[in-house]
């Protein structure tokens, strides 16, 4: 049984502010179809359920139907420009360093594709922090299905009894609760504040995880 505590993170809106590049990729997709662009404020509430839902919502906002080919093209284009403007949130490296020194390990559980996740983490030079990546195409299911989170924890060599989930979306809180994990809502992310309902704690900034994590897994 794993003896180390494991902090599992959502990606977009939790570890990384990816909204500028997601918006830009969606707008290139819309432009190719002769549709009007979206503002970042429009895209913000669309994020969190994977790329298919993101593309569906963007197209629906412009009265256009979804199709798989459009999504595939958008994902490829986005992956090519994944870190043009995206950046880790303030405090990510310092906080993870502090927790790592205290014996913590980390994993990512995201509905984003493996290709885009790996490209983003590598471009931002934060891939080295994570023992495992559980992405949207890593398992047959995605968040909020608890098998996505349990598979990620297993891949990291952890156990649910010594893990907690951090995220900015209702899916992150739901998936953590489904496995009986403590959950921390990332209030700096894209989710509305009411998505924190049921979370074990709310973090106002990333640095707060250095104290909240140990308290919840004491």
- The answer as to whether 1 is a domain residue is no
What interhelical angle do 19-32 and 68-80 show, nearest 10? 130
Catalytic residue among 10, 21, 49, 172: 10
- Residues in CB range of 211: below 8 A, 6 or more apart: none
What mean pLDDT comes out for the span 122-142?
A: 97
Q: Is the pLDDT of residue 173 over 60?
A: yes
CA 132 to chain centre: 13
201 in Cβ contact with 212 (< 8 Å)? yes
134 in Cβ contact with 107 (< 8 Å)? yes
What mean pLDDT comes out for the span 24-49?
A: 96
What mean pLDDT comes out for the span 196-204?
A: 97
Mean pLDDT of the chain: 96
- The answer as to whether 203 is a domain residue is yes
- The answer as to whether 125 is a domain residue is yes
Q: Is the pLDDT of residue 120 over 60?
A: yes
Q: Is the pLDDT of residue 25 over 90?
A: yes
Instruction: Check whether residue 11 and residue 23 sit in a common domain.
Output: no
Distance (Å, whole) CA 91 – CA 86: 15
The band of 48, judged by pLDDT with boundaries at 50, 70 and 90, is confident
- The answer as to whether 115 is a domain residue is yes
DSSP codes, 23-91: HHHHHHHHHHTT-----HHHHGGGTTS-HHHHHHHHHHHTT----HHHHHHHHHHHHHTTTSS-EEPTT
Report the pLDDT value the prediction gives residue 1, as an integer from 0 to 100: 56
The residue with tokens 């049921």 is 198
- Residues in CB range of 108: below 8 A, 6 or more apart: 8, 9, 10, 11, 15, 117, 121, 130, 132, 133, 134, 135, 152
Instruction: Check whether residue 105 and residue 156 sit in a common domain.
Output: yes
Report the pLDDT value the prediction gives residue 50, as an integer from 0 to 100: 87
Instruction: Check whether residue 102 and residue 67 sit in a common domain.
Output: no
What mean pLDDT comes out for the span 49-67?
A: 95
Domains held by the chain: number: 2
Report the pLDDT value the prediction gives residue 79, as an integer from 0 to 100: 94
Q: Is the pLDDT of residue 198 over 90?
A: yes
Instruction: Check whether residue 145 and residue 210 sit in a common domain.
Output: yes
- Residues in CB range of 88: below 8 A, 6 or more apart: 15, 16, 17, 124, 126
Q: Which domain holds residue 75?
A: 19-80
**pLDDT tens digits, one per residue of 133-168:** 999 999 999 999 999 999 999 999 999 999 999 999
Instruction: Check whether residue 134 and residue 68 sit in a common domain.
Output: no
Report the pLDDT value the prediction gives residue 203, as an integer from 0 to 100: 98
The band of 218, judged by pLDDT with boundaries at 50, 70 and 90, is confident
What mean pLDDT comes out for the span 111-139?
A: 96
Instruction: Check whether residue 45 and residue 134 sit in a common domain.
Output: no
**pLDDT tens digits, one per residue of 74-97:** 999 999 999 999 999 999 999 999
Whether residue 77 lies in the annotated active site: no
Distance (Å, whole) CA 103 – CA 2: 12
What mean pLDDT comes out for the span 160-182?
A: 97
CATH classification at residue 25: 1.10.150.240
Instruction: Check whether residue 179 and residue 123 sit in a common domain.
Output: yes
Distance (Å, whole) CA 106 – CA 58: 32
Instruction: Check whether residue 179 and residue 161 sit in a common domain.
Output: yes
The band of 3, judged by pLDDT with boundaries at 50, 70 and 90, is confident
Instruction: Check whether residue 164 and residue 114 sit in a common domain.
Output: yes
Please state, as a whole number, how many other Cβ atoms lie within 10 Å of the Cβ of residue 3: 8
Q: Is the pLDDT of residue 2 over 70?
A: no
Report the pLDDT value the prediction gives residue 100, as an integer from 0 to 100: 98
Sign of CA dihedral 146, 191, 59, 37: negative
Please state, as a whole number, how many other Cβ atoms lie within 10 Å of the Cβ of residue 21: 22
């Amino acid at each position: 049984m794993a003896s180390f505590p494991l902090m599992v993170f959502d990606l977009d809106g939790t570890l990384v502010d990816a909204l500028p590049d997601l918006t830009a990729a969606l707008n290139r997709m819309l432009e190719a179809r002769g549709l009007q662009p979206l503002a970042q404020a429009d895209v913000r509430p669309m994020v969190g359920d994977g790329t298919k839902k993101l593309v569906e919502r963007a197209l629906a906002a412009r009265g256009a139907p979804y199709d798989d080919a459009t999504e595939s093209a958008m994902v490829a284009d986005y992956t090519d420009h994944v870190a043009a403007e995206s950046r880790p949130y303030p405090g990510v490296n310092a906080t993870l360093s502090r927790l790592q020194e205290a014996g913590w390990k980390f994993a990512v559980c995201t509905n984003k594709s493996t290709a885009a996740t790996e490209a983003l983490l590598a471009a931002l030079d934060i891939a080295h922090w994570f023992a495992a990546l559980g992405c949207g195409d890593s398992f047959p299911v995605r968040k909020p299905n608890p098998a996505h989170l349990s598979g990620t924890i297993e891949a990291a060599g952890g156990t649910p009894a010594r893990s907690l989930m951090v995220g900015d979306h209702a899916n992150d809180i739901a998936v953590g609760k489904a496995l009986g994990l403590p959950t921390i809502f990332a209030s700096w992310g894209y989710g509305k504040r009411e998505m924190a309902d049921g979370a074990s704690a709310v973090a106002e900034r990333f640095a707060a995880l250095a104290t909240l994590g140990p308290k919840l897994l004491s």
